[in-house]
Amino acid sequence: MNAQLSDEERQLATLVREFAEEVVAPQAYEADRTKTLSMDVVAQMGDLGLFGLPFPEDVGGQGGDLFALGLAIEALARVDQSIAITLEAGVGLGAMPIHRFGTPAQQQEYLPDLLSGRALAGFGLTESEAGSDAGATRTTARLDGGEWVIDGTKQFITNSGTPITRFVTVTAVTGTTGDRKEISTIIVPRGTPGFEVGPAYDKVGWHASDTHPLSFDGAHVPEVNLLGQRGRGFVQFLQILDEGRVAIAALATGAAEGCLEAAVDYARSRTVFGAALSTRQNAQFTLARMQTRVHTARLAWYHAARLRDAGRPFATEAAIAKLVSGEAAMDNARDATQIFGGNGFMNEQPVARHYRDSKILEIGEGTTEVQLLVISRALGLGG
């Protein structure tokens, strides 16, 4: 795979991999056990410039692209998915909507802190009845005296309750045209009266990732907090979503590789019936299949990211990458846990955490079924 990387990309991948091993990995178990996102690690990621990777230098970014971001996310996810998703969401769902759709004033106010890692932001899309069907949004926003008045709830919102969370961007129904909802996106700063961040979820995995429900009860924000064009909120989200699927595919690839490396090391060191486990053909074949999944997943997200960065259509390739890599992470986590046997059931082992963490990779940023729908439509199938 190194042959597909430029010298600069190779240096970036090496830098983040070393940071992951030296800084992220040692604290991963305790962070998972205590369900605590280390703000010190987040700050160090900011110092490395990771939150600014895919943004132009003239707005405070590193001048990279989606591929560069994917390399960083993959390297982090190899040792800790919670830290990797903090970066992915901080960039793709926090800063990117402001960069892509914000006014000059909004960009000037928010981007410097978001791209430096001094602040995080969440994107409030999902609701109890609006997940894969995001068009079913029920949260509303109405104009009253030059202010948006927001009512509704959101759930599963990443980076919405950290000590450095600056705001959340929410989708809301701002009107109707016939039977169609007009959905817009609105910036809601932290501390806005009527805006409440609920207690953190007790999740199966991603324990150190910050995730909360949100509620809005007559929350007032200025009319200028509209992000992008009124009525274009859902379309704007779809533009962000395709890039997010590539980034999640990179994360899943890193998780799959982390499982593979741990399983190979364990198989070599574990003695069963007088010989190393790695000498048993069943274990060898299991590890070979795991390597194949990592290789295929990486090819898929590399291809999708390169297409996007070249300005070419990539939505179908993003769906393929998300599908292949999510399944690779889950399958490799299961097989690695089996290689470890009873030890794989102990949370001290990274493979146990990957086993819990990886299931969401078949759900978040579009379920496996949604990816299959996108791919089948690209084949001209369906009604």
Please state the domain extents for the chain. Answer: 2-120, 121-231, 235-378
Residue 3: its pLDDT value, please?
66
Q: pLDDT of 58-103, one tens digit each?
A: 999 999 999 999 999 999 999 999 999 999 999 999 999 999 999 9
Nearest-angstrom CA–CA distance, 55 and 344: 39
Higher pLDDT, 19 or 2: 19
2-120 and 121-231 have identical folds? no
Beta bridge partners of 151: 140, 217
Higher pLDDT, 113 or 233: 113
Nearest-angstrom CA–CA distance, 180 and 176: 6
121-231 — its CATH code?
A: 2.40.110.10
Query: From the candidates 74, 257, 362, 365, which is the catalytic residue?
Result: 365
Q: pLDDT of 254-300, one tens digit each?
A: 999 999 999 999 999 999 999 999 999 999 999 999 999 999 999 99
Q: Which fold has domain 2-120?
A: Butyryl-Coa Dehydrogenase, subunit A; domain 1 (1.10.540)
In three-state secondary structure terms, 352 is helix
Residue 191: its pLDDT value, please?
96
Beta bridge partners of 197: 214
Quote the percentage of the chain above a pLDDT of 70.
98
Nearest by Cα to 267 from 280, 256, 255: 280
Active site residue 196: no
- pLDDT bin (cut points 50, 70, 90) of residue 6 is very high
Which run of H or E residues covers position 41? helix 39-47
* Cβ proximity of 82 and 37 under 8 Å: yes
Q: What is the reported pTM? A: 0.96
Q: Which fold has domain 235-378?
A: Butyryl-CoA Dehydrogenase, subunit A; domain 3 (1.20.140)
- pLDDT bin (cut points 50, 70, 90) of residue 310 is very high
The yes-or-no verdict on residue 57 having pLDDT over 70 is yes
Q: pLDDT of 134-185, one tens digit each?
A: 678 899 999 999 999 999 999 999 999 999 999 999 999 999 888 889 999 9
CA–centroid distance for 180 within its chain: 30
Residue 383: its pLDDT value, please?
61
Nearest-angstrom CA–CA distance, 316 and 378: 7
